[in-house]
Amino acid sequence: MAAPTDATSKFDLITKNLQEVLNPEIIKEILDKNERPLSIYWGTATTGKPHCGYFVPMLKIAEFLAAGCEVKVLLADVHGFLDNLKAPIELVEERVKYYRHAITSAMKAVNVDISRLKFVIGSQYQTPKEKATNYAFDLLRLCTQVSSHDASKAGSEVVKQTDSPPVSSIIYPLMQALDEEYLNVDAQFGGVDQRKIFTLAVESLPRIGFRKRAHLMNPLIPGLQEGGKMSSSDPDSKIDLIEPADIVRKKLKKAFCPPKQVEGNGVLSFVEYVLLPASALKNNGTPRFVVDRRDAEPLVYDSIERMRKDYEADVLSPQSLKPAVTEALLAILKPIREEYESSKEWQEVELRAYPPPPQAAKKEKKVKNLGSRFPGGRAGGGEANGSLEAKPDGEVVGEGAHEVSVGKSTEEGLEKLSLAQESGKQ
C-alpha cells in the first residue's frame, strides 16, 4: 500500500471506510502540524477465541500504519475479568498469550507490518505490583464524575448484560476511557458498538483534567446466522482464526445468504470488509475478488458497489458467492492454521487458556447418596473435580469456577493479573 505524504491524504486514509469519527479536528490538527506521528490504540478483551471478524480492525490498522500512525494494541486482560468474569484470574495469563499468538499470526496473514505495532497488556499499568501508579486513584476520581446510570448505559452494548449485573460492569467502561490517558494516545479505535463508551470518554476525561481524544469506529460484520453480529458467544455466528478447513466449509455452506438480499447478509459483508481490503494489500492497493461460475465466465469485482448491484439483480447468486468466499477465506486462514499446527507452544497455550469440556464418563451403577455427614461425603453434591469448562465467550463454568474466576485472595489475584514483569518486556 502506497504511503500518503500530505496531511489531507493521510486523514483520508485514516478515516476511509469507517462508519463514524468523533472529534476529527483532533486528528487533523496533529497531521497538519506534522511534529509527531498520530498515536492510536485498539483494545480487545482477552475472553473468547478471536474469530474472523477480527480481520476488520486488523485491516484498518494496516491503513493506520500506512498513514504513518503509531498503533498500540491493548490486550485488555483486566477488562475481560470485569466483563462478567469472562477472563478468570487463573486463565488470564494464558488467554493473553493465546491472543498474542492469534492476532500476530492473523495480521501477518493479511500483510500487516507487525514490526511497527506495540502490544500492551492492561495489567501492566492497571494493577502493577512493584511500580507506583496513579491509575487506581484516577479511576476513583473518574467514578465521582460519572453517574452509575451513565456508566451502565455506556457499557450496554459491550459488557455482557444480566438481570443482576455486578458493579464490575460499570467499572469496565470507565477503565476503557481512562486507558486513553495512560496509553498516551490521540485516538481510540474500535467497533461502532463501542460508541457509548467513546462518548463517555469524551465527556468525562476533561472533568478530571485529562484531554479528550478522537474516536474512530469501524462497522460490525453481521454474523453467519440471521440477525446479530459476529460474536465469540455464538459459535454458529463466527469462524475462529484456527478453525479447521472442513468446519469453515460447513459453516459457510449453511450461512445466512438469501438471494437478492444485501442488507444483513453476513457473507456479502465479509467480502466488503475483509476479502476486498485484504486483496488490496496483496495487489498494490487494488482490490480484486473473483467468483467462478459453472456455466459462465467468472465475475471479477474491484468494488463492493458493483457486487451489491449484481447480487440484487441475481447475476451473482448465493450458489456462486459462498464457494468463492470459502476459498478466499481459506487462503487467508491457511498460514494461520499452519503456524498453529507447527507450534507446540501455541497448542499448549490453547489447552490451558480454554480447557476442553470433560469427557463423558462411562455410565456406572448409581451409588446411594448417604449425605454430606457420612465420612467421605461431599457437602452439597455437585460436579466432580476437574469438570471446569471454558464457554465460547471465555466464561468458565463447573465446580470451583468462582475461585478460578476471582482468586482465593487479593495477593493471589494480583499475582495472576500482574503480567508486566514477564509478558510486558517486549
421 versus 368: the higher-pLDDT residue is 368
Taking the CA atoms of residue 377, residue 381, residue 383 and residue 384 in that order, the dihedral angle to the nearest 10 degrees is 0
Beta carbons within 10 angstroms of residue 353's beta carbon = 22
Tens digit of each residue's pLDDT (9 = 90 or more) over 202-246: 999 999 999 999 999 999 888 887 766 666 667 777 899 999 999
Give the Cα separation of 117 and 73 in Å (integer). 7
Q: Identify the pLDDT of residue 376.
A: 40
- The DSSP letter of residue 157 is T
H or E segment at 8?
A: helix 7-15
Give the Cα separation of 392 and 49 in Å (integer). 7
Q: Identify the pLDDT of residue 426.
A: 43
Q: What sign has the CA pseudo-torsion 25, 272, 70, 141?
A: positive
Give the Cα separation of 165 and 84 in Å (integer). 8
Q: What sign has the CA pseudo-torsion 216, 142, 172, 169?
A: negative
- With vertex at residue 392, the alpha carbon angle to CA 232 and CA 157, rounded to the nearest 5 degrees, is 40
- Mean pLDDT computed over 354-367: 63
Q: Which domains does the chain have, with CATH numbers?
A: 7-218 (3.40.50.620)
Tens digit of each residue's pLDDT (9 = 90 or more) over 147-180: 999 999 998 887 776 777 788 888 999 999 999 9
Tens digit of each residue's pLDDT (9 = 90 or more) over 371-414: 544 344 433 333 434 566 666 666 666 666 656 556 666 566 66
Give the Cα separation of 173 and 204 in Å (integer). 11
Cell 475472553 -> residue = 47
Tens digit of each residue's pLDDT (9 = 90 or more) over 98-151: 999 999 999 999 988 888 899 999 988 888 766 567 899 999 999 999 999 999
Beta carbons within 10 angstroms of residue 343's beta carbon = 14
Query: Residue 364: pLDDT above 90?
Result: no
Q: Identify the pLDDT of residue 325.
A: 97
Task: Extract the C-alpha cell encoding 391.
Answer: 464457554
Q: Is the distance from CB of 208 to CB of 141 less than 8 angstroms? A: yes
Give the Cα separation of 202 and 20 in Å (integer). 15
3-state helix, strand, coil in the chain (%, to 5): 50, 10, 40
Give the Cα separation of 374 and 216 in Å (integer). 62
Half-sphere exposure for 313 (CA within 13 Å, toward CB): 7
Cell 499475582 -> residue = 415
Cell 511500580 -> residue = 131
Q: Cα dist. 81→96, 153, 251, 424 in Å?
A: 12, 19, 30, 18
Tens digit of each residue's pLDDT (9 = 90 or more) over 313-344: 999 999 999 999 999 999 999 999 999 999 99
